[in-house]
């Protein structure tokens, strides 16, 4: 475990001494803030309009449905673009220099390398999502959204992000070119995002398979506040599969 933390620490330190971390965190915060305040403004306008109309059913108008759920949906799309930019460096940058080979000559195991790199990328993503928690915090201070639904939604976003990080690290382990790593990761993440689209017109068992593979389906389920073991298993499975594939990719790169 010490080797894992050593590798993670080096990568985290390296990212935070360069502008990368600050640009990513600032960009993500600005975008999520833009989404949040627009949705909140829209919600306030709706509340004002409906309050003028007597006898209208306004029970459907709540902070969770009108602000938090669409905000998390938008953040997921932003993560789909930002995470490949975070993970592109993890292996690709080292492969383009001798630092990768130096790691191979040390007594560190490939599994430790893979986990260390994953933790480093996951750390930055965790920081991003942690910052975005300020928005529900504002809502809790000035309103009364449902805690369970909000927590489940953010957990869904976080688990999806962790799975995306594993996929991004995998593509980074395949190449020494960071642009190729980024684009390949975006393609994989987009595929996970849209794979469920043809499910509606497909027959069984294809339909069930596509629905199960779709990250959107599982994310939507958590957005509703449902903590289903199937969703948790799905996110864990995607993460583990990509970590395994990364391990294989690094192991094969060792002997090239």
Partner 1 sequence: MNRPFAVRVSNVSHSYGTHRALDKVGFEVAPGEIFGLLGPNGGGKTTLFRILATLLPIQEGTVEIDGHDACSDVSGLRSRIGVVFQSPSLDIKLTVRENMIHHGHLYGLYGAALSAAVNEGLARIGLAERAADMVETLSGGLKRRVELAKGLLSEPSVLILDEPSTGLDPGARRDLWAYLSALREERGTTILVTTHLMEEAEHCDRLGILDRGRIVSSGTADTLRGKIGGDILTIRSTGADALCAALNQRFSQEAEVIDGTIRLESPDARHLIRQIYEAFPEQVDAISLGRPTLEDVFIHETGHQFWNE
Which residues contribute to the site for partner 1 (CB under 8 A)?
Answer: 2-3, 6-7, 9-10, 13-14, 17-18, 97-99, 101-108, 254-255
CB of 150 vs partner 1, minimal distance in Å: 38
Q: What is the DSSP letter of 201?
A: G
Distance set, CA 64 to CA 144, 152, 157, 162 (Å):
9, 11, 15, 23
CB of 246 to partner 1, least distance (A): 19
Least distance between partner 1 and beta carbon 180 (Å) = 21
Q: Which is nearer to partner 1, 142 or 255 (CB)?
A: 255
Taking the C-alpha atoms of residue 102 and residue 11, their distance in angstroms, rounded to an integer, is 15
- Residue 146 CB, shortest distance to partner 1, in Å, is 44
Q: How far is the CB of 97 from partner 1 (least distance, A)?
A: 7
Nearer to partner 1, 100 or 164 (CB): 100
**Rounded distance between C-alpha atoms, residue 161 and residue 235, angstroms:** 9
Helical pair 134-142 and 147-174, crossing angle rounded to 10 deg:
170
Between residues 60 and 255, which has the closer beta carbon with respect to partner 1?
A: 255
The tokens describing 246, both together, are 């990364």
Q: 19-35 burial string, b = 16+ CB within 10 Å, else e?
A: ebbeebbeebeebbeeb
Residue owning tokens 């130096």: 102
Closest approach of partner 1 to the CB of residue 179, in Å: 19
- Give the span between the Cα atoms of 101 and 77, in whole angstroms: 35
Which residue lies nearer to partner 1 by CB, 105 or 229? Answer: 105
Decide: 170 and 189 in contact? Cβ < 8 Å: no
Of 13 and 230, the one with the shorter C-beta distance to partner 1 is: 13
Residue 10 or 207: which CB sits closer to partner 1?
10
Element (H, E) at 253: helix 229-254
């Amino acid at each position: 475990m010490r080797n894992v933390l050593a590798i993670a620490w080096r990568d985290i330190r390296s990212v935070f001494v360069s502008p990368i971390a600050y640009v990513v965190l600032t960009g993500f915060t600005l975008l999520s803030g833009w989404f949040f305040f627009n949705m909140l403004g829209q919600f306030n306008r709706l509340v004002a309009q409906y309050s003028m109309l007597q006898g209208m059913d306004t029970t459907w108008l709540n902070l969770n449905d009108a602000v938090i759920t669409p905000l998390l949906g938008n953040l997921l799309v932003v993560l789909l673009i930002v995470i490949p930019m975070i993970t592109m460096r993890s292996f690709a940058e080292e492969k383009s220099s001798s630092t990768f080979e130096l790691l191979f000559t040390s007594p560190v195991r490939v599994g430790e390398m893979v986990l260390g790199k994953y933790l480093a990328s996951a750390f930055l993503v965790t920081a991003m999502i942690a910052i975005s928690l300020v928005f529900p915090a504002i809502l809790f201070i000035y309103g009364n959204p449902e805690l369970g639904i909000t927590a489940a939604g953010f957990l869904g976003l976080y688990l999806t992000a962790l799975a995306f990080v594993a996929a991004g690290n995998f593509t980074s382990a395949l190449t020494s070119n960071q642009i190729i790593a980024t684009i390949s990761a975006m393609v994989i993440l987009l595929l996970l995002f849209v794979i469920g689209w043809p499910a509606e017109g497909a027959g069984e068992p294809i339909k069930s398979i596509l629905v199960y593979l779709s990250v959107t389906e599982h994310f939507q389920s958590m957005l509703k506040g449902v903590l289903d073991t199937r969703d948790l298993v799905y996110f864990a499975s995607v993460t583990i599969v990509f970590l395994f594939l990364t391990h294989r990719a690094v192991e094969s790169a060792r002997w090239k």
